[in-house]
Amino acid sequence: MNYEPKIHYRKSIRLKEYDYRNANWYYITICTGNRINWFGKIKESKIVLSQVGKKVKEYWEQIPMHFNYCDLDYYVIMPNHLHGIIIINNHKIVETRRAVQLNTPTDNHQIKLITPAKNIYFSKISPQKGHLGIIIRTFKSAVKKYCNQIGLNKFNWQRNYYEHIIHNESDLYNIRKYTELNPLKWELDEYYQK
């Protein structure tokens, strides 16, 4: 199928002029595809995690180990979505650059150094190191890969994720309270599915 801008256009929900590598606190919501309850169920106002839900918890908590420039704050895993606060600390980002070279032997047994060409197009549109999108994409990919490995090939994520930049202490307090109380209000939740 050919690309048709009127049909295939996907509007970004990100702020156009905002750099998501900025040191800040971000409130994130990530949903499963079709809001299917893959992560567990609410029982007596508490989440009982499924096998997939336990892996989501494990991978979420490992984010700071893979991205040393970020920390986590409050989070909650619900049956079909996750709410969490990610803190990006730019002062922790250490940029290391080195030329990538592939060593290939030639017929006369000398090593020929090959440096791959940069893809300028993708380097302009892809999120850069330290970007919130990289963290979310890596997390979602790891969970999807795990689900495929255990035979849950139908598991999928909703295409995007919701993010809110936390502006002040009052905003942070309200988000933490909402996150903490989310399991108590599951049946009233906009993401609720039986």
Q: Is the pLDDT of residue 8 over 50?
A: no
Per-residue pLDDT of 23-64, as tens digits, reads: 899 999 999 999 999 999 999 999 999 999 999 999 999 999
> Among residues 86, 89, 79, which one has the least CA distance to residue 63?
86
Q: What range defines the domain where residue 87 resides?
A: 19-96+128-188
Query: How far is 138 from 118, CA to CA, in rounded Å?
Result: 22
Q: Note the pLDDT of residue 4.
A: 58
In a domain, 110, yes or no: no
pTM: 0.74
Q: What total number of domains does the chain contain?
A: 1
Per-residue pLDDT of 128-179, as tens digits, reads: 566 889 999 999 999 999 999 999 999 999 988 999 999 999 999 999 999 9
* Percent of the chain topping pLDDT 70: 68
**Number of residues that this document lists for the chain:** 194
In a domain, 2, yes or no: no
Q: Is the pLDDT of residue 190 over 60?
A: yes
CATH number of the domain to which 47 belongs:
3.30.70.1290
DSSP code of 153?
A: T
In a domain, 121, yes or no: no
Residue pair 81/29 in contact by the 8 Å Cβ criterion: yes
In a domain, 159, yes or no: yes
Please list the alpha-helical segments (H only) found in the chain: 5-8, 51-61, 63-66, 120-125, 132-149, 169-181
In a domain, 9, yes or no: no
In a domain, 165, yes or no: yes
